[in-house]
């Protein structure tokens, strides 16, 4: 006899329920600091949820520790506030056990890149079908301003009064190198673009990683101002658009050209180069994605924003299910006691 849980799991849901963004806003106060970039992540996420056509009981948000850890409380869906660094491990287990769910992770640069770093790289490698949104404010905020794995060399923080000695992680490059099939980057000041990135991540089959530059106006205010302020953004960033040449600048008068494998900035007004000479972005080119990812901290080129890579590959949870189905079809349901008493077991007398 089917249980209520069986019925919930088996319902198709997709396209059968109509929601509005307000349906994903719980009756609780959002307790981030005034001016926190987290608000600019929460709003686009709530806005895309109705577009997914998925029942609320089929959506889950998992978090670790940090300011980002509050995220599940601010979404009126299922959620789990885990321990430090373990959000991706929890989310991976949930997705494997319940492949019918849309599983999201809200994490931070400290939570995800430090104690959670091992789970992150293996989540990427396995291509678990989850969506990971990483708040990157380049500092530990919840614990009052210590430096994090993405803090910059020389940065003065509560735990580095003489300046950070480490080189920072490059999250996008780390995700690419670890095998993530979808890697993107946005900024908290551009909610419309973030909404697009979240929508694309939601439709991707596999590990989707979105790094969001998130201003912490208490402990690291203005960390991204050099390329996110309205007066400099168009000259200091380049938007990655699939199939389009990499043009940037307030006057759209500059572009990115490859010199061998080295990206360089060229002028489109001096008559030496034209749009036809520029690098054209291709989300399916993993080699190009590495080149673009490594532009991140290069002061001679603009900071890339958008989707670095979107590849098609079987997800880990699909592979697990296929393996289980194959075993059932070829060998039957199986006997747990027989498994436990296999060739490597022995009897102690």
- What six digits make up the tokens of 186? 């946005």
Taking every pair of Cα atoms in the chain, the longest distance, rounded to a whole number of angstroms, is 89
Rounded Cα gap, residues 249 and 235, in angstroms: 4
How many Å apart are CA 199 and CA 341, to the nearest integer?
Answer: 48
Buried/exposed code over 92-106 (b: 16+ C-beta within 10 A; e: otherwise): bebbbeeeebbbbbb
Q: 157 near 139, Cβ under 8 Å? A: yes
Q: pLDDT tens string for the chain (349 positions)?
A: 344 334 434 434 444 578 999 999 999 999 999 999 999 999 999 999 999 999 999 999 999 999 999 999 999 999 999 999 999 999 999 999 999 999 999 999 999 999 999 999 999 999 999 999 999 999 999 999 999 999 999 999 999 999 999 999 999 999 999 999 999 999 999 999 999 999 999 999 999 999 999 999 999 999 999 999 999 999 999 999 999 999 999 999 999 999 999 999 999 999 999 999 999 999 999 999 999 999 999 999 999 999 999 999 999 999 998 988 887 788 777 677 777 777 676 677 7
User: Phi and psi dihedrals of 90, rounded to 5?
Assistant: -65, -45
Is the model's pTM score more than 0.85? yes
- Element housing 227 (H / E): helix 225-228
> For residues 335 and 111, what is the distance between their CA atoms, to the nearest angstrom?
40
Among 42, 19, 20, CA closest to 29: 42
Q: What is the C-alpha separation between 253 and 234, in angstroms, rounded? A: 11
Domain 4-223+314-327: which topology? Rossmann fold (3.40.50)
Q: Where are the domains of the chain?
A: 4-223+314-327
């Amino acid at each position: 006899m089917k249980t209520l849980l069986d019925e919930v799991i088996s319902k198709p849901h997709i396209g059968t329920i109509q929601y509005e963004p307000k349906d994903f806003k719980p009756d609780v106060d959002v307790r981030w600091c005034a001016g926190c970039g987290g608000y600019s992540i929460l709003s686009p996420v709530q806005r895309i949820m109705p577009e997914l056509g998925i029942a609320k009981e089929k959506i889950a948000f998992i978090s670790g520790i940090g300011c980002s850890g509050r995220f599940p409380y601010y979404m009126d869906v299922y959620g789990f506030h885990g321990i430090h660094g373990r959000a991706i491990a929890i989310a991976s287990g949930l997705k494997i056990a319940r492949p019918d769910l849309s599983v999201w992770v809200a994490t931070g640069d400290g939570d995800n890149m430090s104690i959670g770093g091992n789970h992150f790289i293996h989540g990427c490698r396995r291509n678990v079908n989850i969506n990971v949104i990483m708040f990157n404010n380049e500092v530990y905020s919840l614990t009052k301003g210590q430096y994090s794995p993405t803090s910059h060399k020389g940065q003065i923080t509560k735990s580095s009064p003489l300046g950070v000695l480490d080189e920072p992680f490059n999250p996008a490059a780390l995700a690419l190198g670890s095998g993530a099939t979808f890697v993107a980057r946005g900024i908290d000041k551009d909610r419309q673009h973030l909404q697009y990135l979240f929508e694309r991540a939601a439709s991707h089959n596999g590990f989707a990683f979105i790094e969001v530059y998130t201003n912490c106006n208490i402990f690291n205010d203005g960390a991204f101002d050099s390329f996110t302020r309205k007066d400099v953004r168009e000259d200091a960033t380049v938007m990655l658009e699939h199939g389009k040449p990499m043009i940037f600048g307030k006057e759209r008068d500059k572009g990115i050209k490859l010199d061998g494998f080295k990206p360089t900035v060229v002028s489109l007004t001096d008559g030496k180069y034209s749009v036809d000479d520029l690098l054209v972005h291709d989300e399916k080119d993993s080699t190009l994605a590495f080149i673009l990812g490594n532009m991140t901290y290069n002061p001679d080129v603009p900071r890339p924003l958008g989707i670095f890579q979107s590849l098609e590959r079987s997800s880990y949870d699909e592979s697990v299910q296929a393996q289980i189905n194959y075993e059932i079809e070829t060998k039957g349901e199986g006997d747990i006691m027989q498994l436990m008493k296999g060739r490597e077991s022995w009897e102690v007398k």
